[in-house]
Amino acid sequence: MVLEIAGLSPEEESVYALLVDFGRAGAADLAERDGMPVERMHRVLQSLTAKGLASPTDGTPPLYQAAPPDVALLPRLKRSADALDLAQHEAARLIESYRDTMRRRDAGQLLEVITGAEALRQHLRQIQTGVREEMLWFCKAQYVAMPSGSNTEEFEALARGVRYRVLYEKAFFDDEGAVDNVVAGVRAGEVARAVPQLPLRLAIADRAVAVFPLVAGGPHGSPEEPTTALVRDSNLLAALVALFERYWEDAVPLDVDDTGELSGTDGPAAPDVLAATDRRLLSLLVAGVADKAIASQMQLSRRTVQRRVQGMMERANAATRMQLAWQAARRGWL
């Protein structure tokens, strides 16, 4: 019955529908039309009246007419919908509490083993369909389960506002069609960076669930089907997130220009050659030594120190001295 959610029994819903169709009718006519005993029809009509869904006339015997559905039903449906939402929130809280308890007692609730490429594809699609805020990816060369360009779930997630941060290793771009697919992802909103090499394949959804290989698989690994793990909220998951952030920090951003060219795919460049004087100056600066003291130690004028620092900032494309220190470490200047 459709109106059960509004608090109507099947009999009440049937009689109310008859009243809507009739406009006005007595208990005997309604009982005959519905095939219900008159005594029971009286009880149903009294119940509908008490719920504000019907009203009797003053005559004898009384005639009944239906209350307007928009006035009588919609408020009841809204109250029921609000109660249902509240129940769903409470159920979700209880489910999460139950899972937390089970995770502490049963390691099987923390880590699920996935065997086979098809099962892995399904899990990767499911976690992307359910992701709400952010996906983190390590993309290594030569796919195991999802060929480059086949991850349509990413574009759907990007369209609904999910942030994608993706790290590609240099060899990834040697795969056929890889560059074009990365360009498409970046243009759709993906934030991409490149590194020389990644330690493993990895996908993390909302920092709540991660998928990664348990043993090497794919073209350069085991010839058997890939064996991967799905891990939920735990210290292991926190370590995987930290691993991603560490690689992300050192990676080179991938940019797409107006012509569709992708830059940055070579990963971090070889360390720049820095003059010995600048290297010593920079080491003092990073150590927190003031410009005046640096000038005194190196027997340079304070203006020369500032000029050399400014030159290194321009060379490293750093807006602040703090950024210069970070870029110096990244470029191998220290």
* 36-83 pLDDT per residue, tens: 898 888 888 888 888 888 888 887 888 888 888 777 777 776 776 676
End-to-end CA, the chain: 75
Please report the beta strands in 218-334, taking only residues with DSSP state E, as ranges in sequence order.
Answer: 227-232, 252-253, 255-256, 262-263
Query: Is the pTM value of this prediction over 0.75?
Result: no
How far is residue 123 CA from its own chain's centroid? 14
Burial class (CB in 10 A: 0-12, 13-18, 19+), 135: buried
pLDDT bracket for residue 153 (50, 70, 90): very high
What is the token pair recorded at 95? 């489910």
What b/e sequence results for 236-272 when a residue is b if at least 16 CB atoms lie within 10 Å of its CB, and e otherwise? ebeebbebbeebbeebbebebeeeeebebbebbeeee
Other C-beta atoms closer than 10 Å to the C-beta of 215 total: 11
What digits encode the pLDDT tens for the residues 91-138? 776 666 655 655 555 555 577 888 888 888 899 999 999 999 999 999
CA dist list (Å): 12 to 29, 191, 245 = 16, 58, 61
**Higher per-residue pLDDT: 135 or 323:** 135
* Contacts of 304-307 spanning 24+ positions with Cβ under 8 A: 305/281
How many angstroms separate the most distant Cα atoms in the chain? Answer: 115
